[in-house]
Amino acid sequence: MTKKSALLKAFETQKEIEAQAFILGHRLNLRGFREFPVIKNMPFMIEVGAGAAVLFRYGVVVLFGLTAEQKEAFLEQVKEHITNPLEAIETETVIIDCVPKEGDKVSFDAVHLEAWDIDRLLVIADVLAKSQVLSYHETQVSASFDRIEPISLEMQNKGRPNARRTRELVRNIASTLSTERSIAGQVEILDKPDFLWDKPPALQGLFVRLEDEYELRERHGALKEKLDLIYRTSQMMIDLTNSRHTLHVEWYIVILIVIDIAIHIVETYVF
């Protein structure tokens, strides 16, 4: 009996299993998990305790069928291999059961599979992981809007932000660019996972239904629009500040020229 079939057989003895996704940081080094029994290399899926884990390089781990104690112990191990860990760990959970001959069905908090299958679990892991990344960045974008609001009010009242506020605007732009790089380059939210390309239509249909249920495309589009707005707003505020500084410098130059001319006139015609 292979490792894979042993895992699936264990799942078959349970009425349902829990899948839970955790976003732990910005980067996960997968080389530290080669001592675990490997089920699949791409995406990287391993046996953990009584269940399995799918690990993604962009800092997300999806666990299947682990007990509470096994989850806690494994997540502590994962944290040792995380780059830029997050202070607050976000999570998303879905219940999975098997209903033979009914076809794969999806609802918000449950997935009903026609059969226990590694590829089906990988599809679920892919969508949960992407949803977690979107949830994290949606929270960060909301915080960015909260930071921009007092700067906007300050500009309305005083005509310009102070130096500290300007630095916050620059950080907002840097954060926006970092988020766009993450969701477009590292996570590839809108892309179908590579392992699906040569799979049966039923498996691809499960992916499409999950993608639709978790509104990945809609949330990605909304997030991108908000990121564009933050970038444009922050850049506009910085440009206004720089324009005021340039205007002040120009006035200083004019005043110095006037003073220099006045001194010259006094020296020429008075003395």
Residue 248 domain-assigned?
no
Same-domain status, 168 and 226: yes
The residue type at 154: E
List the Cα angle 55/58/61 in 5-degree steps.
30
User: 28-42, 185-199, 233-247, 248-262 — which one is most confidently predicted on average?
Assistant: 28-42
Q: Which residue has the higher pLDDT, 141 or 204?
A: 204
Does the residue 249 lie in any domain? no
Tell me which amino acid residue 174 is. A
Across 86-115, average pLDDT: 89
pLDDT at 251 over 50: no
Higher pLDDT, 14 or 186: 14
Residues 198 and 95 in one domain: no
Residue 177 and residue 102 in one domain = no
Q: Is 73 in the same domain as 142?
A: no
Q: Is residue 197 part of a domain?
A: yes
Reference 32, options 61, 8, 4; nearest CA is 61
- Total structural domains in the chain? 2
The answer to whether residues 162 and 81 belong to one domain is no
Is residue 205 in a domain? Answer: yes
Please state the rounded mean pLDDT for residues 200-210. Answer: 93
pLDDT (tens digit per residue) in 121-154: 999 999 999 999 999 888 887 777 766 666 666 6
Whether residue 9 is found in the same domain as residue 88? yes
pLDDT > 90: what percent of the chain? Answer: 40
The answer as to whether 259 is a domain residue is no
Binning the chain into helix, strand and coil, the percentages to the nearest 5 are 60, 20, 20
Task: Provide mean pLDDT across the span 66-92.
Answer: 91
Q: Which long-range contacts (CB under 8 A, 24 or more apart) does 164-168 make?
A: 166/237, 166/238, 166/241
Read off the pLDDT band of 247 (50, 70, 90). Answer: very low
Averaged pLDDT for residues 41-70: 94
170 and 91 inside one domain:
no
pLDDT at 4: 52
* Predicted confidence band of residue 17 (pLDDT cuts 50, 70, 90): very high
* Residues 71 and 149 both lie in one domain: no
Q: Which amino acid is at 232?
A: R
Kindly state whether residues 200 and 108 are assigned to the same domain.
no
What's the mean pLDDT when you consider all of the chain? 79
pLDDT of res. 250: 47
Q: Is there a domain that residue 264 lies in?
A: no
Whether 123 maps to a domain, the answer reads: no
Range of the domain at 37: 3-118
Does 53 lie in the same domain as 114?
A: yes
Both 30 and 106 in a single domain?
Answer: yes
For residue 257, tell me if it sits in a domain.
no
